[in-house]
Structure 1
Amino acid sequence: MKTFYLDTDYAYDFDLYGLVSPDKEYKVAWWLNKLFSMHLTKQKDLCYTLPGREQLLVSNYEFSTDHSIIRLFRNRGVGTSTIRKPFLLPDIKEYDYVLQIAGSTSKLSAQNFINTLLRIPLVQYVKKFDPQLLKFKENLIF
């Protein structure tokens, strides 16, 4: 029997930032809302079923307009898990949160955006990532 494989290429046309912050996600979302005059709201946790029938739950906040979608994810899984790598993006496990910005957003350059994020007292470090270079970038497709 002949086997066929589906080969698809996804467009990773969004900006991706990793944030280091030891605080709870609702506090980080509140500061982002305050600083950027938006309204990130808690969405249903994302559930990934991994090989071996293990599930990974990821906390998810979202703000959408007609032209853009901004998502804040906690990089570490919610609750207790027996998964060896309980991260949304194990490539960047050093970062507590992932900020995904898709569509037309602000007029700030990447460095100015990072500097603005660093004005949040809860955020210790921010780095921009190229989604194409991440091994587990498929976890960001919804």
Structure 2
Amino acid sequence: MATLSFEYDYDFQLIGLYCHFKDYRLAWALNKRFEFDFVKQDPYTITNEEEIQEFSYYTFSIEHQELYYYLLANRSEHGLLIPERKDIDYFIIIDGLYERSKKKEFITQLSTLNEVLSAVEVNPKELRSKQNLLME
């Protein structure tokens, strides 16, 4: 009997942020600089063999453009969301149609924020723990 296998297509944009500020301060800075409206959500939860991990999580959307932004902490009390990128403090996930030229400009602008030490493009397909980034 044939079986159906499903593989998720990681077709979102992913930006890693180096930032020593608390999540609410970073969200505030992003809201102020880019006129976003990030709103804190219930913690983003993943479960591994030993424990449940909760990560700080903010969302913002531009409905008429079908563009969704997620600000997600990479660190929790019990570990890392993406262990192979322990150098990154936060991720911005951009889901929807987003032009590559705009992304490069956005990364440059992110790096100019006082709250952000650096911003880098991350390829989600190259991450071993990429399944932890699947937003539902």
TM-score of the alignment, normalized to the shorter chain, above 0.5:
yes
CA gap 1:5/1:107 in 2 versus in 1, 3 angstroms: closer
Tell me the C-alpha RMSD between the 2 structures. Answer: 2.0
CA gap 1:106/1:30 in 2 versus in 1, 3 angstroms: farther
Offset at residue 108 of structure 1 (A): 4.6
User: Equivalences for 1:99-110 in 2 at 5 Å?
Assistant: 99-105=92-98, 108-110=101-103
Give the TM-score normalised by the residue count of structure 2: 0.89
Offset at residue 50 of structure 1 (A): 0.7
| 1:97 equivalent in alignment to 2:94 | no
In the alignment, which of 3, 12, 27 is matched to residue 14 of structure 1? 12
Return structure 1 stretches of 4+ with deviation > 6 angstroms: none
Structure 2, unaligned runs of 5 or more: none
Match of 1:65 in 2: 62
How big is each residue's C-alpha offset from its partner over 1:1-50, in whole Å with a ceiling of 9 and x where there is no partner?
xxx97631112111101100100011111111111111000000012111
Q: State the structure with more CA Rg.
A: 1
Give the TM-score normalised by the residue count of structure 1: 0.85
Q: Which has the higher helix share?
A: 2
Aligned residues: 133
In structure 2, distance between residues paired with 1:106 and 1:125: 21
Structure 1, unaligned runs of 5 or more: none
Match of 2:74 in 1: 75
| 1:125 equivalent in alignment to 2:111 | no
Q: Name the aligned partner's letter for residue 92 of structure 2.
A: L
Partner of 1:109, secondary structure, is helix
In structure 2, distance between residues paired with 1:65 and 1:34: 16
How big is each residue's C-alpha offset from its partner over 1:61-80, in whole Å with a ceiling of 9 and x where there is no partner?
00022211100011001xx3
